[in-house]
Amino acid sequence: MANHLGLRAALISLLIFLLFLAGWHFATLPPTTTSAATVAPQTQQDEDYAKLMGKSKESESKVTGFPNPAQMGLAMRKHLSDPFYDNGPNDKGIGIQLGYSLARVGLGFSIAALVAIPLGFVLGMSPLMQRALNPFIQILKPISPLAWMPLALYTIKDSSISGVFVIFICSIWPMLLNTSFGVAAVRREWINVARTLEVSALRKALLVILPAAAPTILTGMRISMGIAWLVIVAAEMLVGGTGIGYFVWNEWNNLSLTSVMFAILLIGVVGMLLDLIFARLQQFVSYVD
């Protein structure tokens, strides 16, 4: 039954995708009438003059019209055929740009986890600390991560590390709050049994509370990763240099819509894979109460 449902869902998804491609193709068909001004030059001299005036075939494909599926396919093949080339600061392969973004997200997310999970344990186990820190959390949590960027650039004076800091800021709150909630929601009976057996505080935290709160903690980590991947694109657009966000902005400045669309598609695919990783981890630590 589950296999049949999965197969039918896959067929419907394929049908939706094909309809989308067909609609995209027909929406981007060129007009049937061709003016004399758009006729391609016939001689080498005319072609050179068109290039000089910015009206060559190559430049027209960049600045006029929305890309069709075939042009998109060519752009994908071009970027994926050599994803790790490096021709200088403003011309790097998509693989290198993606690697920079993943490294920033991974570093900022890891630092946030090292801070948020232990602090969440403290808040979940101590109602006093929860009440004391709650006003600060409620004030800092709604602030947009990008609002911290000017302060980060001013104090850190490094755009790449500032990006990591922004990822840290946006990742910490879901993990902190979910960990605190998960720890506070552990059944009192399990904690009382551990207390009766005179288990030390560290063993109780690692062997009783952590396994019980792990699904909620993983949920917070999954949410944080999703937010971090959203924010890194905007942060890299602001600071420039390297990364998938900078790649999108740079290709927009080059008027290459196909490259922009390819980068958008890649951002979505990578985001989906990151979410799948955390979904699998969440299933691994889930249990039936």
Q: Which domains does the chain have, with CATH numbers?
A: 92-284 (1.10.3720.10)
Q: What is the pLDDT of residue 202?
A: 83
DSSP H or E run through 266: helix 257-285
Which residues, 6+ apart, have CB-to-CB distance to 5 below 8 Å? none
Q: What is the pLDDT of residue 140?
A: 92
Tokens 């050599």 correspond to what residue? 82
CB-side neighbour CA atoms (13 Å) of 220: 24
Size of the chain, expressed as the number of residues it contains = 289
Q: What is the pLDDT of residue 262?
A: 92
Task: Give me the numbers of helices (H) and strands (E) for the chain, helices first please.
Answer: 13, 0
Per-residue pLDDT of 92-150, as tens digits, reads 889 999 999 999 999 999 999 999 999 999 999 898 999 999 999 999 999 998 899 88
Amino acid, res. 103: A
The two three-digit tokens of residue 239, written as one number: 């600071």
Residues forming beta bridges with residue 92, ordered by sequence position: 86
Q: What letter does residue 144 receive in the DSSP assignment? A: -
Which stretches of the chain score pLDDT less than 70?
1-2, 33-47, 49-64
